[in-house]
């Protein structure tokens, strides 16, 4: 998501110089930046390094925070790094943007709202209360609350977006769709937690990047925006699509024990983004994207 945004921003923001700060942890891939059209500055470093963050924020008008540990499974077995990066790292950025009067945008997740019953017709809005279920989502909710307090107490200029599940090119293989693709390439069945009926809301990664750009360009400070494409699919439905794309039978699936605290359903309303900022997704549906994989 971060590299896709950098590519999108480079195309759109010709008047801005782009600086990318990345710690190059296990999920990073510098090759993803090869498609950037124009010059940019890459800095190897960590948002937990306050001195480095200060030096970079001092040189930039806008700070967009994509930096995060995001994998729920990892947060269950090793939550420390999620607390350090997602909370302390965001705290460091907030101290810097306050010091240098830079604008701040936080890329958050719909998972801060918790989950919905599978049969629910509701969707999360910007006013939905935070009810995180995992160390990952709790760390993102904590960061969001810090930002809200910095806006209220220190009057910083900041916005927050909550996104549904992204899909698209160059996604790290630990995520569901690329992991399933890798298994199928090895002629191994897709693995699904529990009964596979957990529902997710999907958006093409380019659409997410353009939504963040729209918020930066047109959004109001202190506002929060939900980013989604109204594509609700169960994990089982996604598995069926992938198996069909690979010429496998629908039941080429291995069901594994469910993970602790597994959220049942995410559904997010992008109505505010659509009506107030005139944004709409234009990318492929998840069905079309999967069908065109091979």
Q: What is the DSSP letter of 246?
A: T
Question: Is the torsion defined by CA of 221, 227, 136, 128 positive or negative?
Answer: positive
Q: Report the distance separating Cα 72 and Cα 74, nearest Å.
A: 5
Active site residue 154: no
Tell me which residue range forms the domain holding 224: 2-291
Residue among 111, 115, 144, 263 flagged as catalytic: 111
Instruction: Please identify which of the residues 22, 69, 115, 136 carries the catalytic annotation.
Output: 136
User: Which pLDDT score, from 0 to 100, does residue 21 have?
Assistant: 97
Q: Give residue 274's pLDDT.
A: 98
Q: What is the phi/psi pair of residue 26, to 5°?
A: -60, -30
Q: Which residues contact 54 (CB under 8 A, 6 or more apart)?
A: 95, 96, 99, 100
Q: Say how many Å lie between the first and final Cα of the chain, rounded.
A: 23
pLDDT in tens, 190-202: 999 999 999 999 9
Q: Quick one: pLDDT at residue 15?
A: 65
**What confidence score (pLDDT) does residue 160 get?**
98
pLDDT at site 73: 86
- Tell me, what's the pLDDT at 74? 84
pLDDT digits (tens), the chain, 294 positions: 999 999 999 888 766 789 999 999 999 999 999 888 777 899 999 999 999 999 999 999 999 999 998 888 889 899 999 999 999 999 999 999 999 999 999 999 999 999 999 999 999 999 999 999 999 999 999 999 999 999 999 999 999 999 999 999 999 999 999 999 999 999 999 999 999 999 999 999 999 999 999 999 999 999 999 999 999 999 999 999 999 999 999 999 999 999 999 999 999 999 999 999 999 999 999 999 999 987
pTM: 0.96
Domains identified in the chain, total number: 1
Provide the CATH number for the domain around residue 109: 3.40.50.720
Whether 124 contacts 274, CB under 8 Å: no
**Is 136 labeled as catalytic in the residue annotation?**
yes
Residue 157 pLDDT: 98
């Amino acid at each position: 998501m971060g590299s896709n945004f950098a590519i999108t921003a480079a195309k759109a923001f010709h008047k801005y110089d782009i600086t990318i700060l990345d710690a190059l942890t296990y999920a990073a891939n510098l090759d993803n930046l090869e498609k950037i059209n124009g010059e940019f500055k890459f800095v190897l470093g960590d948002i937990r390094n306050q001195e480095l963050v200060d030096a970079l924020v001092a040189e930039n008008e806008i700070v967009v925070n994509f930096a995060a540990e995001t994998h729920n499974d990892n947060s269950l077995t090793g939550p420390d790094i999620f607390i350090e990066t997602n909370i302390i790292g965001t705290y460091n950025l907030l101290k810097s943007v306050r010091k240098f009067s830079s604008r701040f945008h936080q890329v958050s997740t719909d998972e801060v709202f918790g989950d919905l019953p599978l049969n629910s017709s509701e969707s999360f809005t910007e006013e939905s209360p935070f009810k995180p279920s995992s160390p990952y989502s709790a760390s993102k909710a904590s960061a969001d609350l810090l930002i809200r307090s910095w806006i209220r107490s220190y009057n910083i200029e900041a916005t927050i977006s909550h996104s549904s599940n992204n899909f698209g090119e160059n996604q790290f293989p630990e995520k569901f769709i690329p992991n399933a693709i890798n298994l199928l390439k090895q002629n191994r069945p897709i693995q699904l937690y529990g009964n596979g009926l957990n529902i997710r809301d999907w958006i093409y990664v380019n659409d997410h990047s353009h939504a963040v750009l729209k918020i930066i360009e047109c959004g109001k400070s202190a506002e929060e925006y939900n980013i989604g494409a109204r594509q609700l699919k169960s994990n089982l439905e996604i598995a069926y699509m992938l198996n069909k794309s690979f010429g496998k039978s629908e039941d080429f699936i291995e069901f594994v024990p469910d993970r602790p605290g597994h959220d049942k359903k995410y559904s997010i309303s992008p109505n505010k983004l659509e009506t107030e900022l005139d944004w709409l997704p234009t990318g492929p549906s998840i069905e079309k994207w999967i069908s065109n994989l091979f």
